[in-house]
Amino acid sequence: MGKLALAAKITHVPSMYLSELPGPNNGCRKAAIDGHKEIGRRCRELGVDTIVVFDTHWLVNSAYHINCGEWFEGIYTSNELPHFIKDLRFAYPGNPQLGRRIAEFAVERGVRAQAHNIPSLELEYGTLVPMRYMNEDQHFKVISIAAWCNAHELEDSKRFGEAVKDAIDAYDGTVAVLASGSLSHTFIPDRIALGNMNNYTREFDRQVDMHVVELWQQGRFKEFCAMLPDYASCCNGEGKMHDTAMLLGLLGWDSYDQPVEIITDLFPSSGTGQINAVFPV
Ligand SMILES: [Fe+2]
């Protein structure tokens, strides 16, 4: 009988990488990096062997996809923000066995899921950024799941999340699951991008994000699940917030009622709303 040991919604902003480098942005994302390190520390303490990441930077246009290669290694430059993430070296073990089981359980639940063990199928930075801070020593196996689901229903992502839980229950080991994506995600318009790396684009987004964090802290997921489709669309949620639907599917959807623990306070990054928050299991 496997165990889900930790679940979290996390940031992966590329300015975390900039924050490491000398220059004007040095240290700007220390709180986010510290949050990732703390989540990594807890995973070790809980005996986690595999981290599953719902990655809102992996865009898919059809079906649900699981990248469960045996080994991931390379030098990554973001094609979306090459001035933020450049030449990031990575190497992590994978877990093809658990990835395949997730796909099987998802198909059983009527979700068109596929598991892939293809050496040339690369990881996106929604997975690479958190792994950089949580898994530097390759302690954890990694599975990356596409969560920018462009032509999909949140309802199906919820069911996919349920299938992830099925697979973890049937797995002989201990697993953590991370929903890697923002809260609101109205990217700063390019003409005013300089000087606004630490601001929201819209006050509306900031207000709704603050309210959402309050709902989470109070365990009010009946209300949050009811507003999720409108929140994702009105506040331009990253990846249409399929990562969040998967996470809540895993945790019991609107019957989940645990007060969330904020590891890194809500912060703005290039117009968007970001957080590290542990959802008690
Ligand atoms: Fe992102």
Residue ranges of domains in the chain, CATH in brackets: 3-279 (3.40.830.10)
Q: How high is the pLDDT of residue 126?
A: 98
Q: How high is the pLDDT of residue 2?
A: 82
Between the CA of 7 and the centroid of ligand 1 the distance, in Å, is 19
Between the CA of 274 and the centroid of ligand 1 the distance, in Å, is 9
Q: How high is the pLDDT of residue 1?
A: 74
Between the CA of 187 and the centroid of ligand 1 the distance, in Å, is 10
Between the CA of 232 and the centroid of ligand 1 the distance, in Å, is 14
b/e map of 147-158 (b: 16 or more CB within 10 Å)?
bbbeebebebbb
Q: How high is the pLDDT of residue 151?
A: 97
Between the CA of 226 and the centroid of ligand 1 the distance, in Å, is 24
Between the CA of 13 and the centroid of ligand 1 the distance, in Å, is 6
Query: Would you state the structure tokens that stand for residue 182, as one six-digit string?
Result: 């923002």
Locus of tokens 């950089």: 132
Between the CA of 162 and the centroid of ligand 1 the distance, in Å, is 24
Q: How high is the pLDDT of residue 3?
A: 95
Between the CA of 269 and the centroid of ligand 1 the distance, in Å, is 10
Between the CA of 119 and the centroid of ligand 1 the distance, in Å, is 24
Locus of tokens 């290669």: 69
Answer positive or negative: Cα dihedral of 121, 125, 130, 134.
positive
Between the CA of 170 and the centroid of ligand 1 the distance, in Å, is 31
Between the CA of 238 and the centroid of ligand 1 the distance, in Å, is 7
CB proximity list for 163: less than 8 A, separation 6 or greater:
102, 105, 106, 108, 109, 111, 113
Between the CA of 105 and the centroid of ligand 1 the distance, in Å, is 28
Tens-digit pLDDT string for the chain (281 aa): 789 999 999 999 999 999 999 999 999 999 999 999 999 999 999 999 999 999 999 999 999 999 999 999 999 999 999 999 999 999 999 999 999 999 999 999 999 999 999 999 999 999 999 999 999 999 999 999 999 999 999 999 999 999 999 999 999 999 999 999 999 999 999 999 999 999 999 999 999 999 999 999 999 999 999 999 999 999 999 999 999 999 999 999 999 999 999 999 999 999 999 999 999 99
Using left for φ > 0, alpha for ψ between -120 and 50, and beta otherwise, residue 158 falls in alpha
Between the CA of 233 and the centroid of ligand 1 the distance, in Å, is 16
